[in-house]
Amino acid sequence: MNKVPMTVVGEQRLRDELEHLKSEARPNVIAAIAEAREHGDLKENAEYHAAREQQGFIEGRIQEIEGKLSNAQVIDVTKLPKTGKVIFGVTVELINLDNDEEVTYRIVGEDEADIKSGRISVTSPIARALIGKEEGEVVLVRTPGGDVEYEIGGVEHL
């Protein structure tokens, strides 16, 4: 399978969630199933069925996280040389040439992306247009809302 790029912070978040699921959520749902079993008839026991469903979600999420971590290529951008080029993991300051509005994005893996927090996926149209470009360059980004021209104001390795 292909390696999936991920930042150090993104990897740590997944590891923390995995630890929580294995050490807290899984034992809690097992205890809830055991308690629901004590109530008798399992066919009509809503608590039992809800706990079993919750267990299925937890086990599914554990498998999903383990799969992502096994295919992750963790990139620590702070250890890479600062060339002024836009690469995975950098924080980019963009200036919209139409309205002089400034935005700052960090280019991260797909699972880490959160536009409200300023993190965009490496596979997003903006990131794909920016990768490989340098500070000061003007980039045309094709978005669903139309083409937008940005100037790369700064590239930081945070």
Query: Look-up: residue for tokens 């066919």?
Result: 43
Determine if the pTM surpasses 0.75. Answer: yes
Res 53: pLDDT: 95
Widest Cα–Cα separation across the chain = 70
Q: How confident is the model at residue 1 (pLDDT cuts 50, 70, 90)?
A: low
pLDDT tens, residue by residue, 141-152:
888 888 889 999
Q: Is 86 exposed, middle or buried, given 0-12, 13-18 or 19+ CB atoms closer than 10 A?
A: buried
Q: Identify any residues that bridge with 134 across adjacent strands, giving them in sequence order.
A: 85
Q: Which residues pair with 101 in a beta bridge?
A: none
**Each residue of 92-150: pLDDT tens digit?**
999 999 898 999 999 999 889 999 999 999 999 999 999 999 999 999 988 888 888 99
